């Protein structure tokens, strides 16, 4: 689909909120923000139309959108999103992690959902301008951060089935506390044998709301079976491990080598996943990307070949998997506690993100 290329850099002028949250209330929120519950005073927004391309970009007061009830996104789910964080370093500066990778992935997701691309410069400017405006909302201490949610929705009021001619791009921001407040705790995983997440030719490798909508019933099944998360198998043979509803998976072997399911087109290409491939290599682990069957997982844990399993994604960073549960029984990894390799990789990544270690790959991008 055509995207009018923005030759001139897009700026996001700030229209400041007349009624920002008081410093007192903000401090109260930042002392225990949880995840995704509170939002900052502003949001970035821009409109795209087929005729005019991207325009009307600005940072405006946070608030409800006026959508026509016939807006295409409400009916046909033409939507894509991103998830990233702004991290406060000890010296007070604020940084993002590989934001150009989020920009590139949003563009890939947009192509798959027949949405226009947001140019990288415009994406980075929207994120930077919002974080500069709401800098006071970036928490400090522990593993807290300002979670950023760029997204794009089809707003055209039209019930005919085709890609929308009017679209909005927004970035909202939400302070997030440490994911694990009482120390890293392994999660339990339910193996979904009735539902799959993505099929060949589908939208599995695009970050779109529809994938999440389709995963919720399996997630509920996981909860009903006493598990935290759900793991999906490939839709073709129901044999190969794909990923969780919103996190990628890694397996650690007794010889220190680590493996993650290869990208087959149905797995979301996590930026955390890609970064761990690099960091683990730097740390001397042999790393590989290949298909991993559920039998290999089960057999490997039973034989002691697989010593640790962990999940990874921006929100929870690196999360040890303690148990795999299915209709066929339960499998406990190691002692059920966080393993040494998982803990090491988690620490290494956090140290780069929070500016406590060198950044040999140039992943950090200063925002404030």
Smallest gap from Cβ 200 to ligand PLP, in A, equals: 16
271 binds ligand PLP (CB under 6 A): yes
> Rounded to whole angstroms, how far apart are CA atoms 46 and 38?
22
> Rounded to whole angstroms, how far apart are CA atoms 351 and 353?
6
345 binds ligand PLP (CB under 6 A): no
Please report, as residue ranges, which positions from 200 to 229 form the binding site for ligand PLP (by CB under 6 A): 207
Smallest gap from Cβ 356 to ligand PLP, in A, equals: 20
Which of 192, 266, 314, 342 is the binder for ligand PLP (CB under 6 A)?
314
Q: Are 151 and 169 in contact (CB under 8 A)?
A: yes
The residue among 172, 118, 123 whose CA lies nearest residue 149 is 172
- CB neighbour list of residue 182: distance below 8 Å, 6 or more residues apart: none
Q: Are 266 and 238 in contact (CB under 8 A)?
A: no
Say how many Å lie between the first and final Cα of the chain, rounded: 35
Q: How many other CB atoms are found less than 10 A from the CB of residue 211?
A: 20
99 binds ligand PLP (CB under 6 A): no
Smallest gap from Cβ 354 to ligand PLP, in A, equals: 17
Smallest gap from Cβ 26 to ligand PLP, in A, equals: 26
Which of these segments, 117-125, 127-135, 241-249, 346-354, binds ligand PLP (CB under 6 A)?
Answer: 241-249
Pairing of the two strands 187-191 and 166-176: unpaired
Smallest gap from Cβ 345 to ligand PLP, in A, equals: 13
- What is the three-class DSSP state of 227? coil
Which of these segments, 223-231, 270-278, 291-299, 341-349, binds ligand PLP (CB under 6 A)?
Answer: 270-278
Smallest gap from Cβ 96 to ligand PLP, in A, equals: 12
Return the ∠ at Cα 204 (arms to 73 and 309), rounded to 5°. Answer: 130
Nearer to ligand PLP (CB atom), residue 14 or residue 187: 187
Nearer to ligand PLP (CB atom), residue 29 or residue 271: 271
Binding site for ligand PLP (CB under 6 A): 83, 207, 243, 246-248, 268, 270-273, 313-314
């Amino acid at each position: 689909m055509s995207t009018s290329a923005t030759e001139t850099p897009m700026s996001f002028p700030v229209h400041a909120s007349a009624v920002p949250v008081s410093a007192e209330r903000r401090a109260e929120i930042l002392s225990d923000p949880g995840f995704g519950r509170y939002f900052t005073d502003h949001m970035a927004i821009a409109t795209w139309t087929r005729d005019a391309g991207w325009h009307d970009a600005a940072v405006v007061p946070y608030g409800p959108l006026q959508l026509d009830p016939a807006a295409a996104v409400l009916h046909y789910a033409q939507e894509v999103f991103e998830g990233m964080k702004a991290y406060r370093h000890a010296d007070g500066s604020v940084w993002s992690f590989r934001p150009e990778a989020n920009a590139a992935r949003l563009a890939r997701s947009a192509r798959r959902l027949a949405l226009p691309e947001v140019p990288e410069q415009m994406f980075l400017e929207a994120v930077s301008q919002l974080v500069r405006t709401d800098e006071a909302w970036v928490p400090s201490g522990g593993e807290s951060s300002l979670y950023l949610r760029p997204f794009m929705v089809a707003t055209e009021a039209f019930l005919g089935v085709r890609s929308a001619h009017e679209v909005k791009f927004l970035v909202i921001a939400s302070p997030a506390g440490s994911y694990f407040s009482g120390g890293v705790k392994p999660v339990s995983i339910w193996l979904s044998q009735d539902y799959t997440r993505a099929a060949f030719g589908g939208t599995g490798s695009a970050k779109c709301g529809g994938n999440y909508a389709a995963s919720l019933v399996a997630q509920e099944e996981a909860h009903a079976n006493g598990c935290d998360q759900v793991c999906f198998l490939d839709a073709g043979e129901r044999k190969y491990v794909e990923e969780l509803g919103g996190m990628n998976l890694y397996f650690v072997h007794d010889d220190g080598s680590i493996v993650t399911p290869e990208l087959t087109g149905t797995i979301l290409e996590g930026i955390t996943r890609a970064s761990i491939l690099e960091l683990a290599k730097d740390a001397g682990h042999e790393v590989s990307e290949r298909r991993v069957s559920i039998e290999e997982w089960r057999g490997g844990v039973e034989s002691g070949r697989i010593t640790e399993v962990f999940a990874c994604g921006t929100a929870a960073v690196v999360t040890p998997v303690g148990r795999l549960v299915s209709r066929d029984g339960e499998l406990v990894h190691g002692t059920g506690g966080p393993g040494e390799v998982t803990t090491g990789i988690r620490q290494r990544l956090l140290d780069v993100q929070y500016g406590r270690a060198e950044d040999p790959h140039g992943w950090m991008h200063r925002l404030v």
